[in-house]
Each structure stands twice: as C-alpha cells, then as structure tokens.
C-alpha cells in the first residue's frame, strides 16, 4: 500500500511517477521502454491514468457524419497488472466516476482485487472533451466523494456476517486528488478544501496534488489543510516542462500559474532542447526544496517521456 511505503521509508523522500496508457493500437513495449530507465530510482509505486470515452465523427459513404464513441487510451487495469508482473512494484490505477455506473465500478474494483492490486486513486475524472462539463452516468457517481463511499463500503465488506467480511472484503488503500491552486470549478480554495476533507473523512488515505511550479503554493496549501484537520500524507505532483507550447497549454488545461521568471526563461529558449534543460533545472530545484520541506514522496507526471524525469531523479535519488 502507498501509505505503508511512506511509513516504511522512515522520513526518506520516495520517488514515484505517473504514466498514461498508450494510444489505442500502440504496443505496451513502448510504455515499458519509458518505465525501464526510471526503475533504478526504486519507485515503490507507479500510477496509471484512466481515460474515458470521447466522441469522434466519422464520415459515412453517403456523406453523413456518424458520431462514434471511442476510448483513445484503454488498458489501465491490464497495464497495472503487467507492470506489477514485470517490474515487481505496486501499480496504482486511477479510477474515475465518469463513464461508469455504480455496478460497473463495483465490477472494476472486484477485478482489481482479484489481480492483487491494493491501491487506487479515486477521482471524478475529466469531462468528455466535446462536452466541456462533467456529466455523470445516469446510475454513476457525480463526485469523487461518492466514489470513495462505494470503495470504503466494499472495504468494510458487504455481508451481514462478520466472518465473511473478514474473508472477502476488499482492502484498498485510497488516494485522492487535490489542487494547491484550487480546482477550477470550486468557488474558492476554502470550499475546495472542505470537500477534500470530506474525502478524507470518507476513508481516503493520502492525497496527490495537481502539478504546480511555485512551491510556496504547495506549502501554503499543506498548511491550510493541516489547519483544517487533514492529517494524511500530501504528495506533491511535479511536471518538468518539455516544450514551449506548454507555456500556454498547461495553464489552460490544468488551471495553474507559471511563475513569471520560469515563463521568461522558457520564452528565451530557442529550441525545445533548451526548454527541456530549463524544465529539468527548475524541477530539480523545486524537488530539492520540497525534500528539504519533508515531503513524503516526489511524484512526477512523466507523460510516458522518461528522459527529463530520469535526469531529475539522477540529481536527487
Ligand atoms: P472531486 O473531488 O469530485 O471535485 C470536483 C469539484 O467538485 C471540485 O471543485 C470540488 O471542490 C467539488 N466537490 C467535490 N465534492 C463535492 C460534493 N460532494 N458536492 C459538491 N461539490 C463537490 N482525470 C482523468 O480523467 N483521469 C485520470 O487518470 C486523472 N488523474 C488525475 C490525477 C491527479 C493527481 C489529479 C490532480 C487529477 C487527475 N485527473 C484525472 C483530473 C481530475 O479527474 C479532474 O481534475 C476532475 O475535474 C476533478 O477530479 P476530483 O477527483 O478532484 O473531483
């Protein structure tokens, strides 16, 4: 379990990272190639994101456009099992509300339990791109809090008989997401933290943050969470910048700020190779300060491209 890894580390900062399933049609070999160079830094767990269906339009021979529902990056659960099998580390599948009825969620959790996967990151999930606003399934969950309720009720066991529960209840360690710069839909940070606290009260064991580029935002956020009585580990999520385009894309998609001095350094870069260098340097200095601040783990959003994360980990672990 992620929380046991943290406890066993005895205040040493752990290294972990997140990957995306490959695009449909691509092989898992490319994914393994991205993971292999990072194994020397001994990640105790690797997160695998979940991607819901999207709508695409295909032209029929008669000229009409047909709306097709497709998942571009399927395979989260299979990848988790393959990672555990191949690398002997724990894999943490992301479980989302979107696209799942409660029964489908229950079945997915049963699959994970049978596969020996003891960790999940419970999320609401992103909206379907073309819809823009998150729409739950008719019999699905609207918020991560509701999904958490379902997972913790499976952890308690669903039998009236206590002995049966002791044998058959699941035992997931549950992570949840948080946003040092506030979730974009929340009216303010205080409200967002109120719902985060509810996730912990419902049984979440640890928190992973959205990426941030200014450590002060993370430190202030942790302080506020602690003042509100949230005591679980808060793992910072970090992303090294790799392309110039990310200057505009990341704030738009993830609703985060890039510090002025970082933005200026990226703007001054002539090539993406220069950007990667600046991105790695920035991330190393962020990581060093966070380590000195006593964070339990540094969690990197590698997005399947391991070279920058490898360089950062080499400087730190
Ligand atoms: P919630 O905790 O449900 O919060 C969503 C919003 O509703 C917030 O504004 C919150 O303040 C508010 N809220 C929460 N509970 C309630 C309530 N009970 N009543 C009213 N309002 C409430 N997306 C994916 O699709 N796949 C992934 O694999 C994935 N991985 C992620 C990993 C991390 C570490 C992070 C930070 C995000 C990830 N996301 C992923 C994106 C995430 O799904 C989106 O940010 C989503 O919009 C919110 O998810 P959440 O679990 O934080 O939602």
Task: Give kind and range of the element (H or E) at residue 15.
Answer: strand 14-19
Q: Would strands 54-59 and 65-70 be described as parallel, antiparallel, or unpaired?
A: antiparallel
pLDDT of 254 higher than 90: yes
Q: Rounded to an integer, what distance in angstroms lies between the CA atom of residue 205 and that of residue 201? A: 9
Structure tokens at 31: 């994914």
* Mean pLDDT score, 236-260: 96
Q: Please give the distance, rounded to the nearest whole angstrom, from the Cα atom of residue 90 to the centre of ligand 1.
A: 23
Is pTM beyond 0.90? Reply is: yes
From atom 14 of ligand 1, which residue's Cα is the shortest distance away? 195
Q: Of 110-114, 160-164, 208-212, which range is least confident? A: 160-164
Q: Please give the distance, rounded to the nearest whole angstrom, from the Cα atom of residue 120 to the centre of ligand 1.
A: 14
Helix axes 246-254, 260-267, angle to 10 degrees: 140
Which atom of ligand 1 is nearest to 126's Cα? 25
Q: Of 12-16, 63-67, 114-118, 182-186, which range is least confident? A: 63-67
ipTM over 0.90? The verdict is yes
Give residue 58's pLDDT.
85
H-type helices in the chain, by residue range? 2-8, 28-35, 76-87, 102-114, 144-156, 162-168, 189-201, 215-227, 246-254, 260-267, 272-292, 306-316
Q: How far is CA 312 from the centre of its chain?
A: 19
* Mean pLDDT score, 80-107: 97
* Ligand 1 mutation pick, 17, 177, 182, max ligand atoms within 8 A of CB: 177
**Higher model confidence: residue 61 or residue 300?**
300
pLDDT of 55 higher than 90: no
* Mean pLDDT score, 77-84: 98
Q: Rounded to an integer, what distance in angstroms lies between the CA atom of residue 88 and that of residue 217? A: 34
Give residue 253's pLDDT.
95
Give residue 68's pLDDT.
86
pLDDT of 30 higher than 90: yes
Q: Please give the distance, rounded to the nearest whole angstrom, from the Cα atom of residue 277 to the centre of ligand 1.
A: 31
Give residue 3's pLDDT.
98
User: How far, CA to CA in Å, does 269 sit from each of 195, 261, 281?
Assistant: 40, 13, 13
Q: Rounded to an integer, what distance in angstroms lies between the CA atom of residue 313 and that of residue 16? A: 10
Q: Please give the distance, rounded to the nearest whole angstrom, from the Cα atom of residue 293 to the centre of ligand 1.
A: 26
- The answer to whether residues 122 and 93 touch, using CB atoms and an 8 Å cutoff, is no
**Higher model confidence: residue 58 or residue 27?**
27
* Ligand 1 mutation pick, 45, 49, 123, max ligand atoms within 8 A of CB: 123
Q: Please give the distance, rounded to the nearest whole angstrom, from the Cα atom of residue 163 to the centre of ligand 1.
A: 35
Give residue 41's pLDDT.
97
Which atom of ligand 1 is nearest to 94's Cα? 28
Q: What pLDDT band is residue 234 in, cutting at 50, 70 and 90?
A: very high
Picking from 139, 153, 149, 137, the residue whose alpha carbon sits closest to that of residue 52 is 137
Give residue 303's pLDDT.
81
Mean pLDDT score of the chain:
95
pLDDT of 130 higher than 90: no
- Burial of residue 35 (number of CB atoms within 10 Å: 0-12, 13-18, 19+): buried
Around ligand 1, the residues with Cβ closer than 6 Å are 49-50, 52, 94, 96, 123-126, 143-145, 177, 183, 185-186, 191-192, 195, 208, 210, 237
Give residue 167's pLDDT.
80
Task: Give kind and range of the element (H or E) at residue 294.
Answer: none
- The answer to whether residues 209 and 232 touch, using CB atoms and an 8 Å cutoff, is no
pLDDT of 132 higher than 90: no
Q: Of 39-43, 83-87, 119-123, 130-134, which range is least confident? A: 130-134
* Ligand 1 mutation pick, 143, 208, 233, max ligand atoms within 8 A of CB: 143
* Ligand 1 mutation pick, 50, 125, 230, max ligand atoms within 8 A of CB: 125
pLDDT of 304 higher than 80: no
Give residue 311's pLDDT.
98
Q: Please give the distance, rounded to the nearest whole angstrom, from the Cα atom of residue 26 to the centre of ligand 1.
A: 28
């Amino acid at each position: 379990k992620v929380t046991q890894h943290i406890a066993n580390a005895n205040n040493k900062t752990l290294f972990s990272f997140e990957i995306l399933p490959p695009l449909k049609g691509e092989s898992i070999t490319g994914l393994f190639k991205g993971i292999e160079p990072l194994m020397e830094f001994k990640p105790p767990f690797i997160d695998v994101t979940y991607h819901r269906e999207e709508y695409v339009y295909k032209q029929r021979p008669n000229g009409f456009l047909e709306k097709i529902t497709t998942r571009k990056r399927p395979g989260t659960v299979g990848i988790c099992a393959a990672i555990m099998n191949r690398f002997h580390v724990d894999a943490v599948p992301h479980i989302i509300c979107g696209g799942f009825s409660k029964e489908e969620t229950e079945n997915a959790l049963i699959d994970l339990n049978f596969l020996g996967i003891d960790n999940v990151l419970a999320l609401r999930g992103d909206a379907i791109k073309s819809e823009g606003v998150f729409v739950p399934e008719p019999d699905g969950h609207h918020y991560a809090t509701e999904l958490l309720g379902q997972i913790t009720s499976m952890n308690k066991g669903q039998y009236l008989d206590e002995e049966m529960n002791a044998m058959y209840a699941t035992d997931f360690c549950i992570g949840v997401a948080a946003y040092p710069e506030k979730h974009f839909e929340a009216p303010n940070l205080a409200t967002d933290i109120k719902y985060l606290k509810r996730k912990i009260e419902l049984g979440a064991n640890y928190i992973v943050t959205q990426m941030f580029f200014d450590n002060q935002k993370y430190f202030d956020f942790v302080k506020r969470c602690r003042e509100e009585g949230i005591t679980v580990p808060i793992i910072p999520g970090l992303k090294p910048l790799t392309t110039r385009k990310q200057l505009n894309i990341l704030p738009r998609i993830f609703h985060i700020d890039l510090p002025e001095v970082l933005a200026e350094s990226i703007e001054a870069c002539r090539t993406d190779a220069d950007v990667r260098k600046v991105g790695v340097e920035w991330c190393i200095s962020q990581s060093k300060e966070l380590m000195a601040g006593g964070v339990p783990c540094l969690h990197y959003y590698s997005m399947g491209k391991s070279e920058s994360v490898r360089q950062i980990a080499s400087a730190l672990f």
